Amino acid sequence: MNEKDFLSKFHLPWSAGPYLDFPFPVETRPAAVLICLQPPFDDLQVLFTQRASHLNHHAGQISFPGGKFEKSDTSLVHTALREAEEEIGLSPDKVRVLGTLPEYKTISGFAVLPVIGILDESVDLDTDLKIDKNEVSRIFQVPLSHLMNQQNYFVHHAERRKQRFPIYFIQYGNDVIWGATAGMTALLCQHIDFYS
């Protein structure tokens, strides 16, 4: 799927509404992540990070750049862009924000706003980005077509507070994307696929 195809489907009305896969408490802390797609490939690439192995929470897991809302942030979109700049050195002026997905609630008590953006074509991941090794061990990309293929997903169901909910897993090479990151990826792909 190229950028033109993606945009023609992303900007159509949302089909899913709020994401209700995760029946967690209403009291949540606001946060945001940046789901960044890179052209000019015929198949858009989606940027992921791997968290540093020494972190206390979610060490080594695959994630999107992002974090919790700070009082100095003007909006949750600002949160996503600020965190991306802090974690991987991505300048906000190199991202064209397209919009957001519905809020995604996590088991750790966050209400995460996924912000969708297109990376400027001039950005070279190897030379233009600078990883903060305190937070991120590496960045990599996955073709959107791989993420759109339901055969690449595995869903495990768990129970919490007497409610059953899915945990998504996506295999890509030697990497396994799972949990909230995979859930938000599935949400984006479900919206795009709805109009295919």
| CATH number, domain with residue 38 | 3.90.79.10
| Tokens matching residue 10 | 């992303």
Give the pLDDT of residue 196.
47
Please list the alpha-helical segments (H only) found in 115-179.
Answer: 125-128, 144-148
pTM for the whole thing?
0.86
Domain hosting 57: range is 3-194
Write down the pLDDT at residue 193. Answer: 75
Mean pLDDT by runs of 10 across the 196 residues of the chain is 82 52 64 92 89 64 94 96 96 94 84 94 88 90 92 85 82 92 90 62
Angle at 119 between CA 51 and CA 52, to 5 degrees: 5
Using alpha carbons, list the distances in angstroms from residue 143 to 39, 42, 66, 131, 137: 11, 10, 20, 21, 20
Number of domains in the chain: 1
CA atoms within 13 A on the CB side of 98: 22
* pLDDT value for 58: 57
